[in-house]
Structure 1
Amino acid sequence: MIPPTIPELVARAAEHPFLGEHLAMGTGARAAQAVARRGGIELCSAYEPIYDVTVHGLEQSLSAEPASAERFGDELGFQAVTLRADGPQAVPCDPFGDTLDDPELVALDRMARALHAINFLGAKQHGLLFLRVHERLLKSVKYDHGRHFSNILVSFGLNPGRIVIELPAAAVAHRTFVGYLTKSYQRYGFKVAGNLPNAGQILSVSDMARLDFVKMDAGIALRDSMVKPLVSYAARLRIPLIFSRVADAAQFDLLQQYDVRFVQGPLFAAQDKIV
């Protein structure tokens, strides 16, 4: 079966009672992708690569020229980044302000995730799509986390198995809660990643439902001299560990000393992975 294109997915979204009001094809420079319009703002998608740096070519390229990394190595997937596009230039933004009430936040979060999935899967991108979920949405939705989004994807002809729901650190800090969330999202076909609030939290991962990925802030892990024990423990759990927010080549070189495999952050985001 041929996967649907972005225009076909936007046409299917038009039949959805909520998404049909807010998703449309873009114009001008964004004419080939979907955009979302709500509350006077226009949102579009960008994607930050997550690299497997055990591939030799990537290691060599980064030591000399980080900007050339796009031509080397394997990408585990991409993390969606929300851009605000109603100004002169599209810029990263966090549309989920503290002033939003819970129903509005839930609606906006669902709209953004549908937007990113349409632009990513409709463009035939390879790898996994990592989608962040807002902490307040997790608390506002009382049960069956993932059911609504999974139903939308399936109705559009998209595979939830291509998507990784990324849980915030605040949720991962609560063992019982993250266990419930992980099982619920996996029940509806998604993979699940958990952001560690601190390096020591990985000791609790084995007591949780089985996360598919664990993420840790590279700067914090390096500062606390926790990269080696994190890599070792994650290997024993057989859960892929992604070091996020790698800021520069100096951090990357330090990570390389400890057999780190998956990385993402500003150092690699310079590859202009905007779809």
Structure 2
Amino acid sequence: MIAPTVPELVSKAAEHPFLGAHIVMGDGEHAGMALAQYRDVALASAYEPIFDVGTHSFPQTLTASPESAERFGDELGVEALTLLADGEPNALFAQVEDDRELVDLDRLSRALHAFNFFGTQRPGLLFLRVHERLLKSVKYDHGLHFSSVLIDFGLNPSRIVIELPAAAVAHKTFLGYLTKSYQHYGFKVAGNLPNAGQIMSVSEMARLDFIKMDAGAALRDSVVKHLVGYANRLRIPLIFSHVNDEAQFDALQQFDVRFVQGPVFDAHPSHAR
């Protein structure tokens, strides 16, 4: 089934009791894309690709130029980044003190990214981060609200990966509950490891769909080989994130790393996180 276009999604959003007050069509450089009006700023979507470099049987190099990043394998998907429409880094999440307001902002951002992802017929998976405070503010049925919104707009939750922060992954019981809840409502779930040793316990309370680890930290602590081997035994895809330069990328390839993402693959990297 082909997803609705961005204009169709924005038009339908006008009837939604919450999204209708915030989601609009962009113009100028944002023509054809949805924007979210919040407080006195406009929020836009950006997407950082996650590459499957294992789809190429020969070593990859970034020497040619980052603009040729598509040479480095297929895209597993993209991770959504929230930026201000004028291109400046988005600091709204850090500025919001009220938990209820943070929940609204998080839900608005996820809907915005889903509209721009599905509405432009992007392939692969959409990785969406969830703010740690939102996980604590919503007491139960994590994923219920977002799943109902997606289905109402004709969008498929199974193509979305909810990305849990390291603080949630560090608590096995909480991680198990969150993972099962999001998966129950149709989502896939990724967990960011707070440290390499945490991979030993991720399967005890939760069957994650993806594991993520900061590339710089893994290389610094000389644990890449260990992480790749253990993830292979768990049969959970391991993504090395925040690959910042060619040296890190080359070092990762020595250990048969398959999934990578980071600024080094982006010809126009965003500062938004």
Aligned 8 A contact 1:49 1:75 in 2? yes
1:1-275 residue pairs with structure 2 within 5 A? 1-56=1-56, 59-85=59-85, 89-270=86-267
CA displacement at 1:64 relative to structure 2: 4.0
Aligned 8 A contact 1:193 1:212 in 2? yes
CA displacement at 1:29 relative to structure 2: 1.2
Cα deviation 1:141-184 (Å, max 9, x = unaligned)? 00000000000000000000010000000010000001000000
**Letter aligned with residue 249 of structure 2:** F
TM-score, normalised with respect to structure 2: 0.95
CA displacement at 1:58 relative to structure 2: 8.0
The runs of 5 or more residues in structure 1 that have no matched partner are none
Cα–Cα, structure 1 residues 58 and 191, in superposed 2: closer, same or farther, change >3 Å? farther
TM-score, normalised with respect to structure 1: 0.94
Equivalences, count: 270
Secondary structure at the residue paired with 1:144? coil
CA displacement at 1:208 relative to structure 2: 2.0
What is the distance in 2 between the residues matched to 1:268 and 1:190? 26
> RMSD of aligned C-alpha atoms?
1.6
Aligned 8 A contact 1:61 1:68 in 2? no
CA displacement at 1:271 relative to structure 2: 6.0
Secondary structure at the residue paired with 1:148? helix
Aligned 8 A contact 2:130 2:165 in 1? yes
Aligned 8 A contact 1:58 1:73 in 2? no
The runs of 5 or more residues in structure 2 that have no matched partner are none
What is the distance in 1 between the residues matched to 2:246 and 2:61? 11
What is the distance in 2 between the residues matched to 1:154 and 1:229? 40
**Letter aligned with residue 158 of structure 1:** L
CA displacement at 1:65 relative to structure 2: 3.1
Cα deviation 1:221-252 (Å, max 9, x = unaligned)? 00001000000000000000000000100001
Cα deviation 1:114-159 (Å, max 9, x = unaligned)? 0000000110000000000000000000000000000000000000
What is the distance in 2 between the residues matched to 1:213 and 1:157? 25
What is the distance in 2 between the residues matched to 1:228 and 1:70? 26
Identity %: 70
**Letter aligned with residue 258 of structure 1:** F
Cα–Cα, structure 1 residues 72 and 203, in superposed 2: closer, same or farther, change >3 Å? closer
